[in-house]
Structure 1
């Protein structure tokens, strides 16, 4: 069993290293887009399904509460948390619309939407991106495998090129944490550093 543990560890490390080597510039771009939204009184909306829904909630909590720094709350919203809204839309319309209807109601031009999908092919996530783009919302995909259909639908795709869902999810939360740290740096640390 130790061998299984060591193999999983090394696989996870390799997946993170490959992701960063391919996406460091995109991580910085995403960070700057979020900072710009926050600086202009806009918000970050995040959504995903299953484990990615949990990641959406986790990252929203890091922004609204705090990540590492003690700092003011930042406007982030997971679209995965209100069971009354989710089940109402799913029951009255379809599961495909559970995020897009929330974006229609809450999204504004200048906001950022971060979608998290290990396959890149979830119908409700694609509907969310279509709605966001129609409303002038910058759409970013944190994706897996080859990025799926979403890779060509979003404004910015950050893709974990791996076939195992657990490794993709591990990189996704690492990426989310990096964005939290970089946003905090740009908003609250960069200008206070000595030259």
Structure 2
């Protein structure tokens, strides 16, 4: 069992090294997009498909509060996966449109949508991106595998942070590291500190 544990750590480390080789450019681009939107008075909306939603909450909380250094609050909202109407009217699209409806209600031109997915084929995230694009919002997508259907929705103005992994657990771990990286880069851009 201990050998299996060591293998899991090794696999995780290798996934992070692979991500570190291919993602610096897109992480820089995403952080600049976030910082510029916030400078322009816009906000960041975040959502995540199923197991990724906890990371959406975490990232929005880091921006509203702070990452590692105290700073002013930044406008970020994690969209709720529980925002269902208790109406007795049946709807087959409720779970698919759960984030899209909130984007149509809260999103404005110039805002950013940050989405987190495992394979890019999650219907709730695809619907969210489609809604954001109708609002002229820029999309930052963190996704694994081959990007799925989600990758095909993105334009040159959007940023795809594609994790070079296929295993869901490794993709989630990389998403967390990337969100922490984005938090630090946004803080460095908006609130530069003097040399220590």
Normalised to the residue count of structure 2, the TM-score between the two structures is 0.91
Aligned equivalent of 1:4: 4
Distance in 1 between residues matched to 2:37 and 2:123, nearest whole Å: 26
**Shift in Å, 1:10:** 1.4
Deviates more, 1:88-97 or 1:6-15: 88-97
Q: In structure 1, how many angstroms separate the alpha carbons of the residues matched to 2:73 and 2:85?
A: 29
Number of equivalenced pairs: 190
Q: Work out the CA distance in 1 between the residues paired with 2:179 and 2:150.
A: 18
**Larger helix proportion of the pair:** 1
Q: What is the alpha-carbon distance in structure 1 between the residues aligned to residue 42 and residue 27 of structure 2?
A: 19
Partner of 1:193: 194
The 5 A counterparts of 1:1-195 are 1-80=1-80, 83=82, 85-88=83-86, 94-154=94-154, 155-189=158-192, 192-193=193-194
CA distance in 2, matches of 1:80, 1:167: 24
Distance 1:152 1:63, change over 3 A: same
TM-score normalised to the size of structure 1?
A: 0.91
Give structure 1 stretches of 5+ with no counterpart. none
Post-superposition Cα deviations, 1:51-78, rounded to whole Å, max 9, x if no partner, equal 2011100111111111101101111110
RMSD: 1.7
Unpaired runs of 5+ residues, structure 2, are: none
- Using the alignment, how far apart are the partners of 1:71 and 1:162 within structure 2? 34
Q: Secondary structure at the match of 1:186?
A: helix
Report if aligned partners of 1:48, 1:80 keep a CA contact under 8 Å in 2: no
